[in-house]
Amino acid sequence: MSDSLPHRIAIVGATGAVGLEALAILAERAVSADRIGAFASPRSVGTTVPYADGHVPIQQITPDAWHAFDTAIFCVDAQTSRRLAPPALRAGVTVIDNSSAFRLDPRVPLVVPEINAELLDDRPTLVANPNCSTILLLTALEPIRRSFSIERITLSTYQAVSGAGLEAIAELRDQTRAALDAKPRAPRVFPHPCAFNVFPHESPRDEHGYTQEERKIIDESAKIWPAEIPISPTCVRVPVERAHSQAIVADLAEPITREQAEHALRIAPAVRLMTDSDPTPLQATGKDDILIGRVRIDPTDPRRLLLWVCADQLRKGAALNAIQIAEHLHRNRPTAAQPDRPAMPRNPSPHSLAST
Ligand SMILES: NC(=O)c1ccc[n+]([C@@H]2O[C@H](COP(=O)([O-])OP(=O)(O)OC[C@H]3O[C@@H](n4cnc5c(N)ncnc54)[C@H](OP(=O)(O)O)[C@@H]3O)[C@@H](O)[C@H]2O)c1
């Protein structure tokens, strides 16, 4: 039995790509099924989702249902999170939200435990999980940022279709089969065919032509890292089922050697340096670590570091990061010897957000 996690945990959006991964991670941590609540839309009530060696039923979300849980991991779209978080908070549930709903709210900590776990010390009741590409970029570069000052980042992403949810995986499979059979393949989830194709990230564009995904990386990184580092991202969807890849160029304040960069990456948590072979999304699939390879220093500029990164965005980029947050919060829970501390100003009180 795992006691590194809260006693009763609700997974909201348990039938989706992130929710199913959250359940798989809880099962790996030997959390017994009777401590889990699985919730989804009314469409799924009455069905079940796999859990450990069995299944758990999908329950209906009602105001009363929250009272049975200490913590809820929200794996739903932003609009649904905005609707469901206030009643959960009012019922005293700690909410860890995977959507973009609260990420830039100054009252809500945006946390990657390897970078800013100290924001959890005050036991916030609502914590936002960053965007998957943001988590992967920042976790990969954190060991470099801590030892060498980074002045600018240029990023190209190669994002798996599962970043757009379960339906997108079905679309890639259907279109691949159809293409091999020379049948028409109309896109439903994406604006373009995703099989045998690549295209700019499908999210809406702002007045500068940046996609929402690119804007999230810029804005969320500015909130998470203590000093803002300019980032120029280009986000691209590729016909990969699962695990995002990133080509990262980091311009540093001082020259760096490849040995120095590799040493910093080798001793860092959550990343695995690969020197004998190159990381691929298939290798990263189902793994907790962020795989980093092709560490190079630009021969024309010894301050420019180049990395190739592959990581499972459903794990460290979403469900795993959320569960790590739950584990940190659980470690910080009040005990009889350590009475409840007053919330610090940056943490939302359940009531301030309960009314949003
Ligand atoms: N996919 C990723 O790699 C990734 C990474 C980081 C963050 N995220 C974020 O995580 C969230 C979930 O993404 P996903 O990829 O898992 O999406 P998904 O596969 O499309 O799953 C969506 C989930 O939300 C549930 N849902 C939809 N409407 C609902 C409602 N009205 N009430 C309750 N539940 C509802 C769905 O339940 P039904 O099955 O009943 O419809 C399903 O369980 C999104 O905010 C996404 O941006 C995703």
Rounded to the nearest whole angstrom, what is the distance from the C-alpha of residue 328 to the centroid of ligand 1? 24
Residue 117, ligand 1, Cβ within 6 A: no
Shortest-distance atom of ligand 1 to CA 15: 43
**Alpha carbon distance 41, 43 (integer Å):** 5
pLDDT, tens digit (0-9, with 9 covering 90-100), for 120-153: 999 999 999 999 999 999 999 999 999 999 999 9
Domain range summary for the chain, segments of one domain joined by +: 9-130+317-354, 133-313
Residue 121, ligand 1, Cβ within 6 A: no
| pLDDT band, residue 52 (cuts 50/70/90) | very high
Summary mean pLDDT of the chain: 94
| pLDDT band, residue 346 (cuts 50/70/90) | very low
More confident site: 338 or 277: 277
Determine which one of 75, 132, 235, 310 is catalytic.
132
Residue 130, ligand 1, Cβ within 6 A: no
Give whole-number Cα distances, 133 to 12, 61, 186, 274, in Å: 22, 30, 27, 20
pLDDT, tens digit (0-9, with 9 covering 90-100), for 83-110: 999 999 999 999 999 999 999 999 999 9
Residue 212, ligand 1, Cβ within 6 A: no
Determine which one of 194, 201, 235, 244 is catalytic.
244
Which residue has the CA at smallest separation from atom 15 of ligand 1?
165
Rounded to the nearest whole angstrom, what is the distance from the C-alpha of residue 298 to the centroid of ligand 1? 40
What CATH number does domain 9-130+317-354 carry, 2.170.150.70, 3.40.50.720, 3.40.50.1100, 3.60.21.10?
Answer: 3.40.50.720
Residue 126, ligand 1, Cβ within 6 A: no
Give whole-number Cα distances, 71 to 11, 18, 143, in Å: 9, 16, 30
Most informative mutation of 49, 75, 82, 241 for ligand 1 (most atoms within 8 A of CB):
75
Question: What average pLDDT does this structure show over 209-213?
Answer: 98
| pLDDT band, residue 353 (cuts 50/70/90) | low
Task: Based on the residue annotation, tell me whether 75 is a catalytic residue of this protein.
Answer: no
| pLDDT band, residue 352 (cuts 50/70/90) | low
Contact 20, 75 (CB under 8 A): no
Task: Based on the residue annotation, tell me whether 208 is a catalytic residue of this protein.
Answer: no
pLDDT, tens digit (0-9, with 9 covering 90-100), for 289-334: 999 999 999 999 999 999 999 999 999 999 999 999 999 999 987 7
Question: What average pLDDT does this structure show over 257-285?
Answer: 98
Percent of the chain with pLDDT over 90: 90
Fold of 133-313: Dihydrodipicolinate Reductase; domain 2 (3.30.360)
Rounded to the nearest whole angstrom, what is the distance from the C-alpha of residue 303 to the centroid of ligand 1? 41
**Is the pLDDT confidence value at 278 over 90?**
yes
With H, G, I as helix, E, B as strand and everything else as coil, classify residue 138. helix
DSSP 280-349: -HHHHTT-SSEEEEEEEE-TT-TTEEEEEEEE-TTIIIIIHHHHHHHHHHHHT--BTTBPPPPPPTTSPP
**Alpha carbon distance 154, 142 (integer Å):** 15
